Amino acid sequence: MYKSTLTIICLIVFSSANLLFSQENDNILKHINISKQTKIEKVHVEVLEETIQFSFSISCNTRAGVIKVEIYNPKGEKVDEITVKNLVNKASLVENVNGQLNKKIKYPDKGIWVIKIIPNNSIASISISCNLKNESK
């Protein structure tokens, strides 16, 4: 009897704590294939007032050409960037060039963040993974 009461009390305490301090996660996954005809692409990510952490991982696998990925905050300031160049040399074997940008921003600026993909005569594949950790009210 005593054991079951204690279990119930523990369950109630843990579930209420979870309700009080719980965090919600929003995930955005996007895969983009770039061909030589592809023009600038933009991925918009909305950061809310309750977002406590914005993390993203951008992977770029380039077979030819140049790919530049820039990240802008809602103020329009460039926060980070990565450039992956595969300038195919006839003398060497064609090999891919990979770039990966991982970033974690605590208490990011609220608003629309922009991930801008600028290809230049390139053949590539890009994977974007964003995670927004929101504080539930």
Residues that bind another protein (CB under 8 A): 52, 57, 77, 80-87, 89, 92, 95-107
Smallest separation (angstroms) from another protein to the CB of 46: 18
Smallest separation (angstroms) from another protein to the CB of 8: 35
- The residue among 57 and 125 lying less far from another protein, judged by its C-beta, is 57
- The residue among 84 and 132 lying less far from another protein, judged by its C-beta, is 84
Positive or negative: CA dihedral 11, 16, 18, 21: negative
Strand partners of residue 115: 43, 71
H runs (alpha helix) in the chain:
2-21
- The residue among 36 and 78 lying less far from another protein, judged by its C-beta, is 78
What does the alpha-carbon distance between residue 96 and residue 8 come to, in Å, rounded to a whole number? 57
